[in-house]
Amino acid sequence: MKILLTGDRGYIGSVLSQMLLSRGDEVRGYDTDYYRDCDTYALDRVYPMITKDIREVELTDVEGVDAVIHLAALSNDPLGDFNAKLTEEINLEATVRLAELAKAAGVRRFVYSSSQSMYGIATGDEELEEDSSDKNPLTAYARTKWEAECRIKLLGDVGDEGFQVVCFRPSTVFGASPRLRCDIVYNNFVGCAYTTGRIEVKSDGTPWRPVVHVRDVAKAFIAGLEAPAELVAGESFNVGIPDGNFSVRQLAEAAERSVPNSSLTFTGEHGGDSRTYRVSFAKILTRLEQHFRPTWDLDRGGKELTELFRRVDFGAADFRGRATIRLAQLQHLSERQLVDENLRWID
């Protein structure tokens, strides 16, 4: 299959691109490459790459491919708040334009990386479901992800023929990648334990967080490519594993287990964090059971991270530096006047 992978040089894309290649797919990357000097370890990217802002996508960029996997975005709430106008341009308008061009180019399937943040703060103990649960996006990032889903689904055709849109809403991702992030919860806990010998949690540890390994997320996107249209066209799926909701305490304890001789403290100074939610994964685990088989858990992922840290001599400067903190990297590019106020590269 010929695939255009946007965001191929990001945290997830760096892993997914290699998994696609190992399947024998032809990959064409598309990425503005904000994180070009942020490699935790080197990766030989042996496939054609377009280095261009997603806001500048053209018909020729999507011609000749069977499917698009669209990861490129300002990738979480802090980045979304970096500039709400840019979040609108990149995460919403550019996404819709890419989908329109893909349809015009005869692309058969459009796989979109959406977000669970659209659910907002849960008000009860129920697990949030894709179609029946309320959407309450509280940030620019969450709102643009939800609105993009709604708009690109309107472009899609249900059935075997035409343009098929499928949306995946990943849990918070963890695990090793050539372009590692340490600004996401479990990676942060393991990185903190490894580089300082301790984890300090400022809440009481009771809030719930769904998390999923980066390779299992990649498997979900691949399932979006290969599953029959009657299972996925026009659908949204939460991405996670069986029993994939964890308390912050459970995440911190798993990180402590991953780093021998580290210590864990709950200060409780922030009390019970209101950002707590649990998500249902029944839809993806049943409807796509023949195509999506997650295999990673917290302990395996924590061990993988500590082995990576040991191999690359990962230290406190790496953990707290711009190479693994996405907002810090964008601020660095802006301060160095490498990008302008609209996050476009300055030639």
Is 73 within the bounds of a domain? yes
- The pLDDT tens digits for 77-117 are 565 556 778 999 999 999 999 999 999 999 999 999 999 99
Strand pairing of 172-174 and 263-266? unpaired
Is 100 within the bounds of a domain? yes
Q: Which of left, alpha, beta for 313 (phi over 0: left; psi -120 to 50: alpha)?
A: left
8-state DSSP, 3: E
Structure confidence at residue 76 (pLDDT): 64
Is 138 within the bounds of a domain? yes
Q: In what order do the strands lie in the sheet with 67-70?
A: 49-50, 26-30, 2-6, 67-70, 109-113, 164-170, 235-239
In angstroms, rounded to a whole number, what is the distance separating the alpha carbons of residues 215 and 14?
Answer: 10
CB 199 within 8 A of CB 189: yes
In angstroms, rounded to a whole number, what is the distance separating the alpha carbons of residues 184 and 177?
Answer: 13
Is 166 within the bounds of a domain? yes
Average pLDDT over residues 215-227: 98
Is 170 within the bounds of a domain? yes
Is 25 within the bounds of a domain? yes
Domain extent for 65 = 2-179+211-243+277-296+327-335
- Percent share of the chain, pLDDT over 70: 94
Residue type, 73: A
Is 53 within the bounds of a domain? yes
Structure confidence at residue 171 (pLDDT): 96
CB 73 within 8 A of CB 7: yes
- Percent share of the chain, pLDDT over 90: 84
Structure confidence at residue 274 (pLDDT): 58
Decide: helix, strand or coil at residue 167.
strand
Is 258 within the bounds of a domain? no
In this predicted structure, the answer to whether residue 199 has a pLDDT above a threshold of 70 is yes
Of the pLDDT bands very low, low, confident and very high (cuts 50, 70, 90), residue 75 is: confident
Structure confidence at residue 267 (pLDDT): 78
Q: pTM of the entire structure?
A: 0.94
For 305, what's the count of Cα atoms within 13 Å in the CB-facing half-sphere?
35
The tokens describing 67, both together, are: 């499917």
Q: What is the CATH number of the domain that holds 284?
A: 3.40.50.720
CB 49 within 8 A of CB 67: no
Cβ atoms < 10 Å from Cβ of 135: 15
- The pLDDT tens digits for 236-273 are 999 999 999 999 999 999 999 999 999 999 876 655 55
Lowest model confidence (mean pLDDT) among 41-55, 200-214, 306-320: 200-214
Backbone angles phi, psi at 165, to 5 degrees: -110, 130
The tokens describing 217, both together, are: 């997320």
Structure confidence at residue 84 (pLDDT): 79
- The pLDDT tens digits for 163-179 are 999 999 999 999 999 99
Domain count, the chain: 1
Q: Which of 23, 14, 302, 313 is nearest to 177 (CA)?
A: 14
Question: When comparing pLDDT for 339 and 121, which is higher?
Answer: 339
